[in-house]
Chain A
Amino acid sequence: MLSLTAGQMEVQIVAIVVAVACALVGVFLVLRQMAMMSDAITHSILPGIVVAFFLVQDLSSPFLIIAAAATGVLTVSLVELLNRTRLVREDAAIGIVFPALFSIGVILIARFAGGIHLDLDVVLLGEIAFVPFNRTTLFGVDLGPTALVMMTIILIINLLFITLFYKELKLATFDAGLAAALGFSPALIHYGLMSLVSVTAVGAFDAVGAILVVALIVGPPVTSYLLTDRLWVMLALSAGIGVLIAVSGYWMARGLDASIAGSMATMTGVIFMVAYLLAPGRGLIALAFRRRRQRWEFAGTMLAIHLLNHEGLPSAEQENRVDHLQEHLNWDSDFAERAVRHAERHQTVVRQNRHLYLTEKGRQRAREAIVR
């Protein structure tokens, strides 16, 4: 089962290239809080593809990519135009624009593309398994599947854009105001990025379909966002997670004999869940542990302060007993018992009979807490 034919190998390589290309632009979309723009663009480029297809009659023409990218930029501009009238908010503007453009695309296909090969299902859902059948040759030499050639070029463009404009992208993403003040045009970077997203989305169409491009654009950056604070680490991690999604998704699809694109999206969710639970410092489990530790630490500090307050006074006999904590600190007896045991373990308190005495360490801690 683990042996791969050349075609299967090619499918997997295409998946990897698509995933990495999507993940790289996705990092900036997620950081700029424009993730839903990927959803809008992947849908709204449909009319662009359709019109271009009517003109050139070839589904693998590079002209289609250019037209689709132009439609993507048009989508972004329309959203901004609507937003700038201040009559609708940005999220509503996105929700108005992309269904409208998508509808135009669907109607165009239904009315004028009846018999020809432009199937809505394929555009939307994609079928990566067919990738090896459509090949590109140059001077009689087989360069590999067309999708692979196309996506490799797109990946290289993305890499070039991000390396060349790394500083500008970083600044415009994290401090748009400063970027503008320093003379970088935020609009130029914005539209440049959006063109890249459009081009990447169109290229990825063939392989994974419109809706799952969203998974590949958003999934890896969101996952790596849970793992790091540094931009370049996030980019590298996202690319790595993209590869992981592509490979694991492919094998899941093979194992279950299910849709490859769907499996890749599912693996995106699984990998995100793993990070969501286990991410060091930010994952749910780390959070739960930290909350627990903080709860007992806080209880220990409260206990130490309480004991210190009454230490050496006549009231200490009364106050500094386990059963009295219930009354004074409003702890129930179970909680009080556990807090005292926690404090004993950390050697801030010693217990004799029912009486509690601070150790030197405990006194130190109480004083520090009060001063703070």
Chain B
Amino acid sequence: MFPEVFTDIYSDYTIRNITLGATVLGLVSGSLGTFAVLRRQSLLGDSISHAVLPGIILAFMLTGSRDPLILILGAAIVGWLATLSIMAIVNTTRIKQDASLALVLSVFFGFGMVLMTFVQRQPDAAAAGLSRFLFGQAAAIIWDDVRTMLIIGSLALAILFVFWKEFKLVVFDRAFALSLGMPVQRFDVLLTSLLVIAIVIGLQTVGVILMSAMVVTPAAAARQWSDRLGVVTILAGGFGALAGVSGALISAYTARMPTGPTIVICLTAIVLFSLILAPNRGLLWAWVRQHRQSRDIRSRVVLGDLYWLSQQHEGVDHGHSMAALEAMSAGRVAVDHGLEDLERAGLAQRIDGDHWTLTEKGRQLAVSDLNDEDQDQRDA
């Protein structure tokens, strides 16, 4: 299948467009989404993507054109209005961000539906081209769409690149940026506008509902792999593009597999993989660390107990029964496993059957443990 995929991307018009479109979209929304997630505006993307519906339809009603550029322009203007409304409500009332997002999302979308019924009444089935913005229809993407996405997307990324330092400062140290006399609010607005752009160019591929995943999920995945903004942004763009390509191809070669949802499932797989396996932050490593730590504590407890027992007897080689050790630890730790770990580390040895004693190395370690403990107590 694989060689066939490559020739198809090269020669098959539809597959080439879909793949290219999904890649550009993933790249742009992934890298711009990083800032949204870091600014705790993850759900702003969801709100904007729903709210642009009336913009798309109004643009169509006013111009009668289905040129992607015009529809995108309409969407961007209304997306902007929606963002301003959200900010105005939060700033002038006691209504919180979440409620403000949900209200604007649903009211704008509802108004879009009202407009949609007007368009649908027209005889030429013009609405068919518009409803794909709702759920996304990657198969309908033509070269014109891809070109528009490419141009607008690279413009957005170029702006991000040019103002990189400023954006970084505004996101991470607002107070410092303000003290430098930077127009912080203007950069805020610029960042949000870039987000609006990323969202509107993705609408016809994945649709309004899934667009929020394109913004949030790559960034959340990328965040697990690095603490550096540059790396996270590039990774997020890469994850977005990867999910875009694989989702587009899977859906192209599988019958009845919608593109948008497939891309989102690929993204979800990437984020789950990252959450579990990313070095340092990953859940698996955290679990391994914790397990190792509790094993370490277990053997130290048994080591200490064994040392204490050996102090009570004359002969160094005197063996101590496991039962005695178990009584000492009083069920706090699994003594048998602890002893096995000690034996493996060469700290304790078994003397006939169930009796144990420390090796010389073990004795030294126990003494130094005790000294550390004393030191800690004195420090405290």
Enumerate chain A interface residues (CB-CB to B < 8 A). Answer: 30, 33-36, 38-39, 43, 82, 85, 87-89, 91-92, 94-96, 99-100, 102-104, 106-107, 110-111, 114, 120-121, 124-125, 211-212, 214-215, 217-219, 221-222, 225-226, 253, 256-259, 261-266, 268-269, 272, 276, 282, 284, 287
Question: Known: A91-B42, A262-B110, A262-B114. Is A103-B210 also a contact (CB below 8 A)?
Answer: yes
Does A268 contact B271, Cβ atoms closer than 8 Å? no
State A347–B136 Cα separation when bound (angstroms): 68
* Residues in B whose Cβ lies below 8 Å from that of A82: 275
Inter-chain contacts of B262 with A (CB < 8 A)? 103, 107
Which A residues touch B216, using CB under 8 A? 92, 95-96
Do A268 and B110 contact each other (CB < 8 Å), given the known contacts A95-B46, A95-B216, A99-B210?
yes
Known: A33-B98, A95-B46, A259-B116. A266 touches B135 (CB 8 A): no
| Chain A residue with the shortest CB-CB distance to B37 | A92
Residue from A34, A125, A218, A266 within 8 A of B111 (CB atoms): A266
Residues of chain B at the chain A interface (Cβ within 8 Å): 37, 40-43, 45-46, 50, 89, 92-96, 98-103, 105-114, 116-118, 121, 131, 134-135, 209-210, 212-213, 215-217, 219-220, 223-224, 256-258, 260-262, 264-265, 268, 271, 275, 281, 283
B113→A125 contact, CB < 8 A: yes
How far is A88 from B170 in the complex, measured between Cα atoms in Å? 21
Per DSSP, chain A at the interface is: helix
Contact B213–A257 (Cβ < 8 Å):
no
- If A87-B223, A268-B103 are given as contacts, then 19 extra A-B residue pairs at C-beta distance below 8 Å, sorted by A number, are A30-B99, A39-B105, A89-B37, A92-B37, A94-B43, A95-B43, A95-B45, A95-B216, A95-B220, A110-B257, A114-B256, A214-B105, A219-B103, A257-B117, A259-B113, A261-B110, A266-B111, A276-B93, A282-B94
Q: Are A262 and B42 in contact (CB under 8 A)?
A: no
Contact B98 A265 (CB under 8 A): no
Considering the complex of A and B, which 10 residue pairs feature the smallest CB-CB distances, nearest first? A265-B110, A262-B113, A99-B213, A95-B216, A269-B107, A103-B261, A215-B106, A35-B99, A262-B114, A214-B106
Q: With A99-B209, A111-B256 given, is the CB distance from A38 to B117 under 8 Å?
A: no
Distance of A96 Cα from B46 Cα, bound (Å): 11
The reply to whether B113 and A36 contact each other, CB–CB distance below 8 Å, is no
- CB pair A110–B258 under 8 Å, yes or no, is yes
Q: Are B114 and A259 in contact (CB under 8 A)?
A: yes
Q: Once the chains are docked, how many angstroms separate the CA of A266 from the CA of B113?
A: 9
Which residue of chain A has its CB nearest to the CB of B283? A85
Known interface pairs A33-B99, A125-B113; A92-B107 also in contact (CB < 8 Å): no
Q: Complex Cα distance A348/B260, Å?
A: 70
Q: Contact: B258 with A107, CB < 8 Å?
A: yes
Of B94, B135, B213, the contact of A96 (CB 8 Å cutoff): B213
Q: How far is the CB of A256 from chain B (nearest CB, A)?
A: 7
Given A211-B106, A266-B114: A89 and B213 interface contact (C-beta under 8 Å): no
Q: For the complex formed, measure the closest distance between the CB of A82 and the CB atoms of chain B, giving whole angstroms.
A: 8
Sample (30) of A-B pairs whose CB atoms are under 8 Å apart: A34-B98, A35-B99, A35-B102, A38-B102, A87-B223, A88-B223, A88-B275, A91-B43, A92-B37, A92-B220, A94-B42, A96-B213, A96-B217, A99-B210, A99-B268, A100-B213, A103-B213, A103-B265, A106-B261, A107-B265, A211-B109, A211-B110, A214-B102, A215-B110, A218-B99, A218-B106, A261-B110, A265-B109, A266-B107, A276-B89
